[in-house]
Amino acid sequence: MPSSPSQPIAITYGDPAGVGPDLVLSLLDTFSDAPMVIIGDRQVLSERAQQLGLTVALSDWQPGDLLPVGSLPVWHTPAGAPVIAGQPDPATAAGTVTMLTRAAQGCLKGTFSAMVTAPVAKNVICDGADPAFTGHTEFLAEQAGVNQVVMMLTASPGGQPLRVALATTHLPLSQVPAAITPDSLMRTLTILRDDLISKYRITEPRIMVLGLNPHAGEEGHLGREELDVIIPTLKHLRAKGMQLTGPLPADTAFQPHLLEQHDAVLAMYHDQGLPVLKYAGFGEAINITLGLPFIRTSVDHGTAFDLAGNGTASAGSLIAATRLALTLATPQHNA
């Protein structure tokens, strides 16, 4: 790589029984000279490599150690129970939470320049460690002590950047309307605008905002959230200089000519915007958390327990997420 971060990036393999360990083991081929540390159970990685027929050198690492050359440095974090690929076990949940905590706190302390996460199983962590766990995004916000963060997924189908951010994340659909308030929407759009400027170096971001209801509410006939919340909030932010379009009906917003005119799309809920993005770039898309005081990227897929340990999982999304984290963390990018 022509340049690299001043501190290594941390990579967590997610649920130890999922595809995360498989994908992490493949990173050395692509990023042989990149400064990175794997946080997880060394025995899990060793056993998974043997199961996959891979020869991967693993080295023990602790904060303060120099990075080894030609091997994957591993900050050993015990899984808490024996791990069988494809068989999730709540007994490993506490180990997974410790892994995420080490990565997040390491970023906050400056030990790491960014963190990259492979997928966890929310239900496993809820059953085995934290019943209130709703996902990486919310967990990292709590670790960082910030009130609100924004989930954004990115892909480049046909070379054209597509960025989709979410006004709400992992909520039951019945709770979404109440969660979209003028304050929350204003904070979300401000975080999105600010990080497009600071992380992506877009001087004046143009953001397309989707409506919540079909046809963006049809002037109140299909719901009043647009009239009562979204439109007044957008008007207020436009007066402050934000370049905002909408609210637009979600079923017609993702057209090439509209996307070309905007730098990002804000969807109102998880399954409104992400199916389009994942259809366009699944397996190569990246999840990035905006609003954190550190860089966090992730894959666009789940734990895929059925693929764990059989050598069929694609590392494309993890490679893309790692490459973006390395790019965003380089001093030249942030100059």
How many Å is the maximal CA-CA distance in the chain? 63
170 annotated as belonging to a binding site for a ligand: yes
92 annotated as belonging to a binding site for a ligand: no
CA dist 205 to 90, 173, 194, 332, Å? 43, 29, 9, 21
Integer Cα distance of 54 and 112 in angstroms = 27
Integer Cα distance of 47 and 218 in angstroms = 57
Integer Cα distance of 169 and 156 in angstroms = 22
CA 296 from centroid of its chain's CA atoms: 6
Cβ burial of 175 (10 Å; 0-12, 13-18, 19+) is exposed
166 with 269: CB under 8 angstroms?
A: yes
Integer Cα distance of 163 and 106 in angstroms = 28
199 annotated as belonging to a binding site for a ligand: no
- Is residue 142 classed as helix, strand or coil in its secondary structure? helix
**Ramachandran sector of residue 332 (left: φ over 0; alpha: ψ -120 to 50; beta: rest):** alpha
- Is residue 287 classed as helix, strand or coil in its secondary structure? strand
109 annotated as belonging to a binding site for a ligand: no
What crossing angle do the helices spanning 182-198 and 231-239 adopt, rounded to 10°? 50
187 annotated as belonging to a binding site for a ligand: no
Count the Cβ atoms, other than its own, within 10 Å of residue 207: 22
278 annotated as belonging to a binding site for a ligand: yes
The DSSP output letter for 229 is I
- Is residue 190 classed as helix, strand or coil in its secondary structure? helix
Residue positions forming the annotated binding site for a divalent metal cation:
170, 215, 270
Residue positions forming the annotated binding site for substrate:
136-137, 278, 287, 296
Residue positions forming the annotated binding site:
136-137, 170, 215, 270, 278, 287, 296
